[in-house]
């Protein structure tokens, strides 16, 4: 399990296995969008640091509902996660050295 902080505040808890997220974003704009975008960018950074051979990340649930149905899904889609039948999928392209 991991946590993601944005501006020193808990933005998300990632469950072991990386398929379940609990997301806590501010209620009011523009803080909500700023924190949501920062969270989504950090998820991409985590995926990019995954061990070689890992080709992406599938988030199945956010806050106990299918990932695509949670309002935070919009921020993930904005940075490259794609809605699929199983959740939000991020494909990580790795350059060959």
How far, rounded to the nearest angstrom, does the alpha carbon of residue 78 sit from its chain's CA centroid? 11
Tokens of 82: 């794609």
Return all residues near 93 (Cβ < 8 A) that are at least 6 apart. none
pLDDT tens figures, 18-77: 899 999 999 999 999 999 999 999 999 988 887 765 678 899 999 999 999 999 999 999
Spell out the residues 6+ positions from residue 81 whose beta carbon is closer than 8 angstroms to its own.
40, 43, 57, 59, 73, 88, 89, 90
């Amino acid at each position: 399990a991991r946590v993601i902080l944005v501006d020193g505040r808990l933005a998300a808890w990632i469950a072991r296995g990386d398929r379940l997220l609990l997301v806590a974003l501010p209620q009011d704009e523009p803080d909500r969008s700023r924190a949501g975008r920062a969270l989504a960018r950090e998820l991409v950074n985590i995926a990019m640091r995954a061990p070689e051979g890992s080709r992406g990340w599938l988030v199945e649930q956010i806050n106990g509902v299918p990932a695509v149905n949670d309002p935070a899904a919009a921020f993930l889609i904005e940075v490259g996660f794609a809605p699929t039948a199983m959740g939000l999928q991020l494909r990580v392209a790795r350059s060959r050295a």
